């Protein structure tokens, strides 16, 4: 909502300054978004006429215009606007002018070899509107103003307020003034109520159809005959220009002015273009009309339309139609002032994707009792400016306005606000906001003003009182430092732990979108359902991610393109399995590229590999408290991993839920997305599949129990078939005697010379120690033999001699 202090002063008497005004507006909840001097040095912009246009000799789209700016000689101005043509009256900015929109100073400049003395302006360049398509086209009435300043005098600053959707009353200057006055900023000026005095009957028949979901409750109107639609008087033009609107013609300007001044949208029809009568009704599917924005709209069933015998004239409360629009030659006017239901307005505007000033106001709720005020104010102004005779007001109604009454308990105020004000003060504030009050024992009975659709219960009254008293009066009650419940639950603690555990292994944490490019997502989706976003922000972010890899790969590639080679990044966050709430999993996903020890003077560089990533995964899980002795790992992994160099990890053998996948990313994907790296490995840990620890850290510290008897280490080398996993050998050895075998370690794997094809040699070191005694040679020999026998039996291995 755009206002100026000058306009506010039509409604409020105050000695305070603009600075106070800005503070006060914000303090009562009418937030000041910006303050600007719209037209600094505005007298420099002149009305001008294009006398002649020629094509620019060096540019197809540019024209060289000879412009009459009221001086002896015509000015040569280069202009790119398509609508620049001979005879057009527009606005000229000479060199030295500061263009309001860009705040840049205009200079004489050669444009493609032709010197341009100034510029012809568009509405947007002058901050008059967002219209930047072409230069301003002024009506022929401005002919006599050529050479004169377009803006009459310097005006007060334009203040842009952000009005919250609950306050339609503050979409009019009067409403803002009322709030200010209630807060003590000044005195609300009582307006003289000028009423239409007329004997003429409004003889155009108006009917609101009584039908289901009728969007119009009340339709008030009056006829004004024999008007002469002229250019608005200077005071009116200045008002509209001061808040950035462009004057059009007296009738249009007056309806706009009344809307902005008292938030009462009106519509003026050319009464001669209405076929017999007005019918307010629901539209039928397929009906069409051309609106004042020059667009053709096809309607659906049930939209509230104003029609005549021929068909739709306009959408009630949203936009009028060209067929019945007023023009400079309009003689007879039907002025409409109606109440349209917010929900009907909103539904229609949404379906047609239409946004207008009237719609914005009606959907928030217009004062239903302002119908006659609006007609009176506008009709009398029209008569003053355009002449003519006004008819009596005609009101058609299908629903009566019911006043709202609230029984307010004054005690509630302190209960909610934390501070006290007297009942007298409360009543004073509420009455100055337009409430009517009556004491009823300990309660106050309040009649809510008709312009406040937002107020329906006691707590709304509390808000009004706190707001006007000042939020600075709310006490600061310091919080008590007391905790009754633990801050994080176990899964949140696990999240937190894993996040920092992975980061501590050299990974940079990334946060990427929860959505991704479906093309990338498909690489990592597996058999999961694709979850499309109906209205994505771009085609590259059109699905919810099935895996974090898609985004990490995309960003990894970008970083590689920046010239980095050895990168480790990870993200912990959601992946999605369906479009219902809760169809999501929390995953830690990491990606590592390039080499270890690249260009190191001391260590041999090598490609990062699957065993690097396996270490990161297992170490992380061990640190999180899971027993690596129970881990079960096999090689079944999703198809986005290298089929031979990847694994899946279960916390326990026989468990169904996969705790993690890890491995090299499938080379085909790397090729397809054109990634350049020596090596790329990744992992995924699934948080929901990790059992939460039942024990506390305290419980987990079991009795300290070690053996001080001599331990001995024995090395074995077995030859096995290549398809046998080292894990099988380790399991076999561990199973021999758990009380004696304290550690099993693979220290060499060898294939090649001296080993038969399809076989490999695995060398294992076994630590044997008893809790009861020092083992003698005999004991050790026995266990050695048992180890060899067990491994040979269970895996088909042969001990190497």
Q: Which of 509, 540, 609, 678: binder of another protein (CB under 8 A)?
A: 509
- In whole angstroms, how close is the CB of 122 to another protein at the nearest point? 23
Stretch that binds another protein, among 43-51, 98-106, 292-300, 480-488 (CB under 8 A): 480-488
Q: Which of 346, 397, 528, 800: binder of another protein (CB under 8 A)?
A: 346
What does the chain come to in residues?
801
- In whole angstroms, how close is the CB of 680 to another protein at the nearest point? 15
Query: Which residue, 191 or 508, has its beta carbon nearer to another protein?
Result: 508
Q: Does 574 interact with another protein (rule: CB under 8 A)?
A: yes
- In whole angstroms, how close is the CB of 360 to another protein at the nearest point? 8
Number of residues that bind another protein (CB under 8 A): 99
- Rg over alpha carbons for the chain, rounded to the nearest Å, is 40
- Check if the beta carbon of residue 150 is closer than 8 Å to that of residue 45: yes
- Check if the beta carbon of residue 712 is closer than 8 Å to that of residue 783: no
Query: Which residue, 582 or 644, has its beta carbon nearer to another protein?
Result: 582
Stretch 355-394: interaction string toward another protein, x if CB under 8 A: --------xx------------------------------
Q: Which of residues 153-182 bind another protein (CB under 8 A)?
A: 164-167
Burial class (CB in 10 A: 0-12, 13-18, 19+), 690: buried
Stretch that binds another protein, among 297-305, 457-465, 710-718, 790-798 (CB under 8 A): 457-465
Residue in the structure block whose two tokens are 């899971």:
626
Q: Does 411 interact with another protein (rule: CB under 8 A)?
A: no
- Check if the beta carbon of residue 287 is closer than 8 Å to that of residue 352: no
Q: Which of residues 85-114 bind another protein (CB under 8 A)?
A: none
- Check if the beta carbon of residue 297 is closer than 8 Å to that of residue 286: no
Q: Which of 55, 201, 496, 789: binder of another protein (CB under 8 A)?
A: 496
Q: Does 525 interact with another protein (rule: CB under 8 A)?
A: no
- Check if the beta carbon of residue 83 is closer than 8 Å to that of residue 134: yes
Q: Which of 489, 635, 653, 672: binder of another protein (CB under 8 A)?
A: 489
Q: Does 484 interact with another protein (rule: CB under 8 A)?
A: yes
- In whole angstroms, how close is the CB of 180 to another protein at the nearest point? 13
Q: Which of 506, 526, 643, 796: binder of another protein (CB under 8 A)?
A: 506
Q: Does 471 interact with another protein (rule: CB under 8 A)?
A: yes
* Spatial distance between the Cα atoms of 485 and 630, rounded to a whole number of angstroms: 33
Query: Which residue, 495 or 632, has its beta carbon nearer to another protein?
Result: 495
Q: Which of 512, 726, 731, 742: binder of another protein (CB under 8 A)?
A: 512
* Spatial distance between the Cα atoms of 102 and 122, rounded to a whole number of angstroms: 12
Stretch 29-68: interaction string toward another protein, x if CB under 8 A: x-x-------------------------------------
* Cross-strand bridge partners of residue 717: 763
Q: Does 427 interact with another protein (rule: CB under 8 A)?
A: no
Secondary-structure percent of the chain, ordered helix, strand, coil, rounded to 5: 30, 25, 45
Q: Return the closest-CA partner of residue 447 out of 460, 462, 431, 459.
A: 431
Q: Does 472 interact with another protein (rule: CB under 8 A)?
A: yes
Q: Does 281 interact with another protein (rule: CB under 8 A)?
A: no
Q: Does 500 interact with another protein (rule: CB under 8 A)?
A: yes
Burial class (CB in 10 A: 0-12, 13-18, 19+), 290: middle
Calculated CA dihedral for residues 167, 169, 171, 174, nearest 10 degrees = -140
Which residues have CB under 8 Å from 668's CB, separation 6+?
none
Q: What are phi and psi of 439, to 5 degrees?
A: -75, 135
Query: Which residue, 208 or 544, has its beta carbon nearer to another protein?
Result: 544
Q: Which of residues 15-34 bind another protein (CB under 8 A)?
A: 26-29, 31
Q: Does 597 interact with another protein (rule: CB under 8 A)?
A: yes
Q: Which of 338, 569, 670, 783: binder of another protein (CB under 8 A)?
A: 569
Residue 340, H or E segment: strand 333-340
298 in helix, strand or coil?
strand
Question: In 91-129, which positions are buried (b, 16+ CB within 10 angstroms) versus exposed (e)?
Answer: bbbbeebebbeeeeebeeeebeebebbbbbbbbbbbebe
């Amino acid at each position: 909502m755009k206002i100026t202090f000058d306009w506010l002063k039509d409604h409020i008497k105050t000695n305070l300054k603009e600075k106070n005004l800005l503070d006060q507006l914000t303090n009562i909840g009418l937030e000041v978004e910006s303050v600007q001097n719209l037209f600094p040095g505005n007298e420099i912009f002149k009305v001008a006429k294009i006398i002649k246009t020629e094509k620019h000799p060096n540019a197809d789209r540019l024209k060289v215009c000879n412009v009459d700016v009221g001086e002896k000689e015509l000015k040569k101005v280069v202009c790119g606007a398509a609508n620049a043509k001979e005879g057009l009256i527009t606005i000229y900015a000479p060199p030295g002018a500061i263009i309001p929109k860009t705040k840049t100073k205009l200079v004489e400049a050669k444009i493609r070899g032709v010197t341009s003395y100034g510029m012809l302006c568009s509405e947007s360049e002058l901050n008059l509107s967002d219209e930047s398509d072409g230069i301003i086209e002024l009506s022929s009435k401005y002919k006599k103003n050529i050479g004169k300043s377009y803006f009459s005098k310097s005006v007060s600053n334009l203040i842009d307020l952000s009005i919250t959707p609950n306050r339609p009353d503050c979409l009019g200057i009067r409403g803002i003034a009322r709030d200010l006055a209630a807060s003590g900023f000044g005195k609300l000026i009582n307006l003289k109520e000028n009423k239409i005095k007329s004997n003429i009957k409004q003889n155009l028949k108006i009917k609101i159809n009584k039908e289901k979901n009728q969007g119009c409750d009340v339709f008030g109107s009056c006829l004004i005959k024999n008007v002469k639609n002229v250019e608005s008087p200077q005071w009116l033009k200045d008002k509209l220009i001061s808040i950035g609107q462009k004057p059009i013609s007296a009738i249009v300007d007056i309806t706009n002015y009344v809307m902005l001044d008292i938030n009462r949208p009106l519509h003026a029809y050319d009464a001669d273009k209405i076929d017999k009568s007005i019918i307010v009704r629901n539209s039928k599917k397929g009906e069409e009309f051309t609106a004042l924005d020059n667009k053709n709209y096809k309607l659906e069933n049930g939209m509230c339309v104003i029609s005549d015998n021929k068909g739709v004239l306009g959408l009630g409360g949203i936009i009028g139609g060209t067929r019945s629009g007023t023009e400079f030659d309009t003689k007879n006017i039907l002025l409409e002032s109606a109440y349209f239901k917010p929900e009907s307005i909103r539904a229609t505007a949404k379906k047609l994707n239409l946004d207008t000033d009237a719609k914005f106001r009606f959907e928030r709720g217009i004062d239903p009792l302002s119908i006659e005020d609006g007609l009176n104010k506008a009709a009398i102004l029209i008569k003053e400016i355009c002449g003519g005779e006004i008819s009596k007001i005609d009101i058609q109604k299908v629903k009566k306005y019911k006043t709202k009454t609230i029984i307010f308990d004054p005690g509630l105020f302190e209960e909610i606000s934390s501070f006290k004000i007297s009942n007298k003060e409360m009543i004073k504030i509420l009455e100055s906001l337009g409430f009517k009050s009556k004491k009823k024992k300990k309660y106050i009975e309040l009649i809510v003003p008709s312009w406040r659709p937002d107020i329906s219960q006691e707590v709304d009254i509390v808000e009004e009182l706190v707001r006007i008293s000042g939020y600075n009066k709310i006490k600061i009650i310091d919080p008590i430092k007391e905790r009754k419940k633990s801050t994080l639950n176990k899964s949140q603690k696990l999240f937190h732990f894993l996040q920092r555990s992975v980061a501590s292994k050299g990974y940079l944490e990334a946060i990427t979108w929860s959505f991704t490019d479906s093309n990338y997502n498909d690489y990592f989706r597996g058999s999961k359902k694709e979850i499309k976003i109906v209205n994505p922000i771009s085609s590259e972010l059109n699905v919810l991610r099935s895996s974090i890899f898609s985004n990490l790969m995309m960003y990894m590639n970008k970083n590689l393109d920046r010239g980095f080679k050895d990168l480790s990044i990870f993200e912990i966050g959601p992946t999605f399995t369906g479009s219902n709430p809760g169809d999501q999993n929390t995953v830690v996903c990491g990606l590592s590229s390039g080499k270890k020890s690249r260009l190191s003077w001391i260590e041999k560089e090598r490609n990062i590999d699957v065993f690097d990533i396996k270490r990161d995964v297992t170490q992380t899980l061990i640190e999180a408290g899971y027993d690596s002795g129970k881990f079960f790992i096999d090689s079944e992994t999703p198809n986005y991993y290298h089929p031979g160099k990847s694994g899946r990890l279960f916390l326990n053998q026989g468990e169904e839920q996969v705790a993690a996948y890890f491995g090299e990313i499938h080379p085909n994907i790397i090729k397809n997305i054109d990634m350049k790296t020596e090596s790329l490995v990744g992992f995924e840990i699934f948080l929901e599949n990790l059992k939460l620890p039942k024990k506390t850290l305290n419980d987990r510290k079991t009795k300290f129990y070690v053996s001080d008897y001599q331990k001995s280490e024995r090395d074995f080398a077995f030859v096995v078939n290549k398809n046998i996993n080292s894990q099988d050998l380790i399991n076999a050895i561990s199973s021999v005697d758990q009380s004696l075998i304290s550690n099993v370690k693979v220290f060499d794997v060898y294939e090649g010379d001296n080993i038969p094809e399809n076989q490999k040699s695995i060398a294992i070191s076994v630590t044997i120690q008893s809790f009861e005694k020092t083992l003698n040679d005999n004991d050790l020999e026995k266990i050695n033999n048992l180890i060899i026998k067990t491994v040979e039996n269970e895996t088909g291995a042969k001990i190497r001699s």
